[in-house]
Structure 1
Amino acid sequence: MEILLQEWFSVNGFILLTIGLLAAVIGVLFGAAGFILLPAMLLIGIPIHTTVAVNKFATGISALSNVVSFVIKGHLSLKKFTSLMMIASLGGVFGAFLATRLSEQIMNIVACVFLIFSFFVVLCSNKLMVKDIKETEEQPINKLIPFAVSIYDGGFGPGSAQMNVTYHLKKHYTYIKAVELTRIITFSSCTGAFLFYYFTGIVNWGIAIPVSIGSIVGSFLGLKIIPYIKTRWIQILLPIIFFLLIVQVVSDLLI
């Protein structure tokens, strides 16, 4: 325990906390926490599978804090989305299982394919994203989509929340509602994936705790900022963030 405390209150611990905070803010606003979290942790020398495991723990805790806030405020009913949460959890477990059996290069190829597909979906969905007021009825959610994204999230992650946000926007949900549903799915997929990583002994608590504290703080900051985000900004920023994610993954493949 003493060793862990030394790690948490060291310079590295402060750096990890800052990384978690920035990643959570960006994750809540634009669904791209992995764009900050994973590259930053890899940059300071943390192994890929440990990085993914810590990411699932930190992001899951961050999403849980948001979900609890949504429920307390009466924005969401967990009972209504129980089946969606179970499907996302199973997807997270399956994704983590696959990740532990794939090389880093294969993981990056899978990420690249998902991100390129989602990039074109975002470009085709811009008309939906410019609506500040919902003009049509919310369409039913095809649970295969959150399940597939949760598999990717459990095994890798960058851009997964953004994929879910984009999907719910296509189903005519308002941006804030799309974020709320995405946080539920993210919490569920991260919980399933983290439990798998934990029982396989991959989690490093010296890294996970400071990143998670930063994520909790960042997630609440992100929710405070959301009401001030204009949908026109989302229309511009979503494709840019996806493009940067693709560039990052492709560069990892070429190194």
Structure 2
Amino acid sequence: MEYLIIFFTGIVSTTLGTIAGGGGLISLPMMLLLGIPIHSSIGANKVSNTVSAFSSFFHLFRQKKIAMKECYWIIPISVLGGISGGWVASLISAEHLYIIAIILLVFAFITSMVGKRNFTGGNILKPTRLSVPGLYGIGIYDGIFGPGQGTLMLYLFAYLKVDYIRAVGYARLATFSSCIGAAVMYISSGVIIWGVTLSLLCGSVIGAQIGVRLAERLKPAYVKPILRIVTIAIILQVFVENVL
């Protein structure tokens, strides 16, 4: 029964995560509620995110919605960001990490309220003085903390005037890249509970396919409200669990 619950949790969390980020809001608390150790829960998330993120990216790539020549440079930057985040996390106390997470998310929320960009642009994604440090910084955030990484990524692409479906594809590629190192680390450390991880992974792959197909049909005007709701939920969860 536990594995079945985790399987359906993977479907729901990754569907949300593909559309607007924040899937970890569902999967991580559910696994902890079931009594799965924290490191095993995080490891399961990282392993499942690596596979599910690539599956949704590959679907859009196969449908020719995105071009590899436009986004190949995301991979090394996100991998480096994830590695850097893991190193930074070892130097900063948990209390400070949570404060940094809240500040970043509040900033993203305010930016979305005052900005008028709603994924309606058709700009080509290029390495620039904004996109490179932005992707690298979010990769660091993913390595340090994690929940909300996809949401922050979509905010960045909206600011860069990248249309929504391409933004989803590139955000999933960045998630795949930043999670690779973390997944290897958790596997090598021996904390992975494979029954839990494979149940979450199977559900996540299905959720990724549902999410990417919903994203193809979602009107850009609806994306920002969904992002704001997810952002508020992440902020409240982090604040209640780690600050109060």
Normalization by structure 2: what TM-score? Answer: 0.89
- How much identity, in percent, do the aligned residues show? 29
Root mean square deviation of aligned Cα: 2.2
Corresponding residue number in structure 2 for 1:249? 238
2-side partners of 1:38 and 1:152: how far apart? 17
Change (3 A) 1:229 1:81: closer
- Match for 1:24: what amino acid? T
Report if aligned partners of 2:123, 2:163 keep a CA contact under 8 Å in 1.
no
Give 1:171 deviation, angstroms: 0.6
Corresponding residue number in structure 2 for 1:232? 221
Report if aligned partners of 2:102, 2:235 keep a CA contact under 8 Å in 1.
yes
Query: What do residues 180-209 of structure 1 show as CA deviations (whole Å, max 9, x unaligned)?
Result: 110110110111221122223332212211
Matching of residue 84 in structure 1 with residue 74 in structure 2: yes
Of 206-215 and 63-72, the range deviating more from structure 2: 63-72
Q: Mapping of 1:138-157 within 5 angstroms?
A: 138=124, 140-141=126-127, 142-157=131-146
Of 30-39 and 207-216, the range deviating more from structure 2: 30-39
Q: Mapping of 1:58-69 within 5 angstroms?
A: 58-69=48-59
Give 1:104 deviation, angstroms: 4.8
Corresponding residue number in structure 2 for 1:214? 203
Report if aligned partners of 2:119, 2:164 keep a CA contact under 8 Å in 1.
no
1-side partners of 2:197 and 2:90: how far apart? 18
Of 142-151 and 180-189, the range deviating more from structure 2: 142-151
Give 1:128 deviation, angstroms: 0.8
Structure 2: unaligned runs, 5 residues or longer: none
- Match for 2:99: what amino acid? I
Of 148-157 and 204-213, the range deviating more from structure 2: 148-157
Corresponding residue number in structure 2 for 1:32? 22
Normalization by structure 1: what TM-score? Answer: 0.85
SS in 2 for 1:129: coil
Matching of residue 191 in structure 1 with residue 185 in structure 2: no
Corresponding residue number in structure 1 for 2:37? 47
Structure 1: unaligned runs, 5 residues or longer: 1-10
When the two structures are aligned, how many residues end up with a matched partner?
241
